[in-house]
Chain A
Amino acid sequence: MTSPATSSASTAGATATRAGGPGAAPPAAGHEMPRAVTALVFLRDRGIFILWGLLLVAFSLWCSPYFATPDNAVLIANAAALTAVFAAGVGIGIMTGVLDLSLPGTAAIASCVCGWLLTHGYPTAVGLLAGLACGVAVGLFNGLVSLRGLNPIIVTIGTLSMLTGLAAVIAGGYTFPGLSQLTFMGTQRYLGVPAPVYLVAVVFVVGTVFLTRTREGIRLMAVGGNAEAVRRSGIHSPRYQVLGFVVSGILAAIGGLVATAVTTEANPQASPAIIFNALTAVALAGVALTGGRGSLPRVLVGALILATISNGLTIRGIQPYWATVWTGVLLVGALLLERAVQTAVSERLVATANLSVHTKKV
């Protein structure tokens, strides 16, 4: 301790401060979130589920009796499956702070490597594992290159170009058709539900548990939010930045393999539409492009919304172009709503900002 005079003086000062602070404000007030804020946060975090619910009700009425049937539910789920897998890849990438544009290339190379191995008589398992290994390799490459201080967007555009070219080289300018070994994870149905739907369920359950319940997942999200904070906590943050790319690469490879299985053909053409559909689903889910926030269940619902709109309009015999239009309207609307909610939350929080943080009586 310091000299008696000094310490007693300062302790007295501090005690006076404490007595003055909390005594004035109602003690517990700082801990309760104003109800309006709770409601707004609920709307921000769960709004997409409500939106999907509304869409389902609307289409059920409008497209009665064809929309609200088990068969149609399976159709929608299956249609959403591919977008959902890629959206998971894009989404996890963005949440951890990187926008990985090489996904279509990764999907193409995984698909073609798998296709080459299968047409040359290798076992199915080898083909699939090799495809996944491509995803890991691409992720590592993207991550390690980006760590050198380069902009990940440009790096992954470069990777996309390399991978698309390589995939075409492997396929010799053609495709690998007739890969019927893969139907078990393509068009095959189990209990009436197509294989890709199960796969999506597994991907999203595992991904959600990983990001919210495991140490590595939580750190991955934290790096996306504030890499400097993670570094100062004594964690080697670059490792997690690379991990983000690797997870995103693996998901892209899974997407490529599922696409191959569904069409029983490995195609070296990397479709940029993949990434834009996935990005739409991710943006609908309210995953901020600045990183660090977002949740996989919402991303899944984002993909389901896209498939629902397209399905409902098709049932009504409306041109598919309208589905694209409505998707765009929803996306812009969702962004506007999110901004409005965010502003409202901030305003209400500022009003309570001065409530005390000290409650313990000393």
Chain B
Amino acid sequence: MTTGTGSGAGTPALELTGVEMHYGFVRALDDIDFRVHPGEVVGLLGDNGAGKSTLLKVMSGAHRPSGGTLRVHGEEKVFHAPSDAAGAGIQMVYQDLALVDAQDISTNLNLGREILRRGPLGWLGFVDHRAMRKRSEAELDRLGVRTAPMTRPVEMLSGGQRQVVALARSAIRVSGASNGILLLDEPTAALGYEQTKQVEALIRQMADNGIAIVLVTHNLPLCYQVADRVVVLNRGRKVADVAMSDTEPDHVVGWITGARPSQFHAASA
């Protein structure tokens, strides 16, 4: 493969080396190397049971790997809980979105990082709704997104708009001093054509803003739309790691199903 492994300019945002995951005798993950650079979108593909979800859980801190190391911006980390991963700038966007339907967009985006009013009212815990709306608007502008007025309850949004709000919330949370890492689990699973296009555009925009994105999906066209590189898992092993521009759908499908031999393990399968 040529490259697609990123700019040489430096350390990957997230790098896994030799990660193993055993459940009893079952090897869910076998010696996985994986990295994603800032500004890069990496598609993580594989059939059901290939180990995608397990790998994602290792990255998001939900599971501790049986072996191997995990580095964030070059620094070795051990996650004991999802909150550790969040602290290191890794956010997972689940399929169920986890939005508070009855509350408006601003409240959803600001939950857990509310702006309090200045002065005595702030000491009593009064929030500054206007300041929070302004900040959220600015943050969404930076992502090139305008969903709906900030005061619109989430339950009044379309599926695509909700997905955009959920993605934006995570993107905002990881956009700190050093750009963070987003793990997306089937972000377009429940969406129609037009809405899928909107979400694709947002994913690209987030990557252009310097966020590293890992995209778990069954959706090959989605990968071709947004991903720079694709990693294919098969029965717990990494069988391919190629730039999207260097590969064609037939090959990727071959790796997913196991019909095409692994790039790394000669004569396995």
Contacts and interface: CB of A to CB of B under 8 A. Distances in A.
- What is the interface residue range for chain B against chain A? 35 or more
Contacts of A7: 228
B102 A353 contact: no
Which of B37, B100, B202 gathers the greatest number of chain A CB atoms within 10 Å? Answer: B100
A97 to B, nearest CB: 11
A354 B198 CA distance: 10
Given A31-B146, A228-B98, A233 B245 contact: no
B158 A2 contact: no
Interface in A1-26: 1-3, 5-7, 9-11, 13-14, 17-18, 20-21
A73 interface: no
A298 interface: no
Nearest to B198: A357
Contacts of A20: 197
Given A214-B127, A349-B156, A226 B145 contact: no
Interface string A114-143: 000000000000000000000000000000
B189 to A, nearest CB: 16
A21 B204 CA distance: 15
Nearest to A213: B126
A357 B145 contact: yes
A227 to B, nearest CB: 9
B228 A229 contact: no
B125 interface: yes
Contact of B228 (A10, A225, A362): A10
A222 B100 contact: yes
B127 A218 contact: yes
A266 to B, nearest CB: 33
Contacts of A353: 158-160, 192, 195
Contact of A215 (B40, B86, B101, B125): B125
B245 A30 contact: no
Interface string A327-362: 000000000000000000100011011111111101
B226 interface: yes
B228 A6 contact: yes
Interface in B159-213: 159-161, 164, 192, 194-195, 197-198, 200-202, 204-205, 208
Contacts of A352: 158
Contacts, number: 163
A232 interface: yes
A151 to B, nearest CB: 23
Contacts of B229: 2, 6
Contacts of B98: 226, 228-229, 232
B164 A357 contact: yes
Contacts of B32: none
Nearest to A13: B225
B102 A3 contact: no
A41 B148 CA distance: 16
Contacts of A18: 144, 201
Interface stretch (B2-10, B15-23, B45-53, B64-72): B2-10
B159 A222 contact: no
A182 interface: no
Nearest to A21: B197
Given A17-B225, A218-B127, A221-B100, 11 more contacts: A2-B7, A10-B226, A18-B144, A31-B146, A31-B149, A33-B152, A214-B124, A215-B127, A225-B103, A229-B111, A358-B146
Interface of A: 1-3, 5-7, 9-11, 13-14, 17-18, 20-21, 30-31, 33, 37, 41, 213-216, 218-219, 221-222, 225-226, 228-230, 232-235, 292-293, 345, 349-350, 352-360, 362
